[in-house]
């Protein structure tokens, strides 16, 4: 019986090792210290149930990863949005590194499958618990930073996180109208005017089309579910046009 237990444990360890190997291949990242990678996915409940083996949970890595994420995302936003005020940058960064965003990134990479959990935690659905997934994403960033440094973390974020910022996933917290105003005022270039060109669709599903112009010259056109959203999108278009000309 005792041997059966040992064999079962060996099989389990082999299966876990195989999963982590496949995971690294999928990401195109090979950890020099695989213990760090495993630690990033080790929940405290697992450690409590495997006391005979010295496992470490991911809480300290999560602490480090949180800081590394703040720094790398701040750096990216600082360079990408030269017109943004400190307050707006802070708001945007908060949206990128908040729990629901981290959970979405973790889901994209199927992190849930790899988490090492205690039986009780497993039975109560810990694998899908948002706080736990967000913690694992931060711990992974911490482990990657320790293992391979900041540049590798940035390359990883360039694949997973930054494209989402580029595609406008966080546009709801960005104020493009005030950025445009700031840019125009800084250059002393003239007067900005917004005009709703069109309202279409039924009352429950309206779509507005807005144009922003400067001194009568069209800068951008945007659509949205409300006048405000359409104006924000028009301002976003205008910013892209103006920046491509500078």
- The catalytic site residues sit at 66, 138
| 96/184 Cα distance (integer angstroms) | 27
Asked whether 195 and 211 are in contact (CB, 8 A), the reply is yes
Calculate the alpha carbon distances from 130 to 33, 65, 156, 183 in Å. 27, 17, 21, 39
Would you call 38 helix, strand, or coil by DSSP? helix
Residue with tokens 């876990």: 16
The contacts found for 18-27 with CB under 8 angstroms, 24 or more apart, are 19/113, 19/114, 20/114, 23/114, 27/109, 27/156
Nearest to residue 19, comparing CAs of 124, 112, 83, 93? 112
SS3 211: strand
Q: Quote the DSSP letter at residue 101.
A: H
Phi, psi of 40 (to 5 degrees): -60, -30
């Amino acid at each position: 019986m005792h041997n059966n237990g040992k064999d079962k444990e060996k099989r389990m360890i082999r299966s876990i090792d195989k999963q982590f190997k496949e995971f690294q291949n999928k990401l195109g990242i090979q950890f020099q210290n695989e213990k760090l990678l495993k630690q990033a996915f080790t929940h405290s409940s697992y450690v409590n149930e495997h006391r005979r083996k010295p496992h470490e949970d991911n809480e300290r890595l999560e602490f480090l990863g949180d800081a590394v994420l703040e720094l790398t995302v701040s750096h990216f936003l600082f360079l990408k949005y030269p017109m943004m005020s400190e307050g707006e940058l802070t708001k945007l960064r908060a949206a990128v590194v908040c729990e629901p965003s981290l959970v979405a990134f973790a889901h994209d990479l199927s992190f849930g499958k790899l988490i090492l959990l205690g039986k009780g935690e497993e039975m109560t659905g810990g694998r899908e618990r948002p706080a736990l997934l967000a913690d694992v994403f931060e711990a992974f960033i911490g482990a990657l930073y320790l293992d391979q440094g900041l540049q590798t973390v940035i390359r990883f974020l360039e694949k997973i996180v930054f494209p989402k910022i580029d595609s406008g996933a966080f546009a709801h917290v960005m104020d493009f109208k005030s950025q445009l105003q700031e840019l125009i005022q800084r250059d002393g270039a003239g007067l900005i005017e917004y005009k709703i060109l069109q309202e279409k669709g039924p009352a429950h599903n309206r779509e507005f089309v807005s144009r922003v112009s400067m001194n009568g010259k069209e800068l951008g056109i945007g659509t949205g579910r409300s006048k405000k959203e359409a104006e924000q999108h028009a301002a976003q278009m205008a910013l892209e046009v103006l920046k491509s000309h500078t």
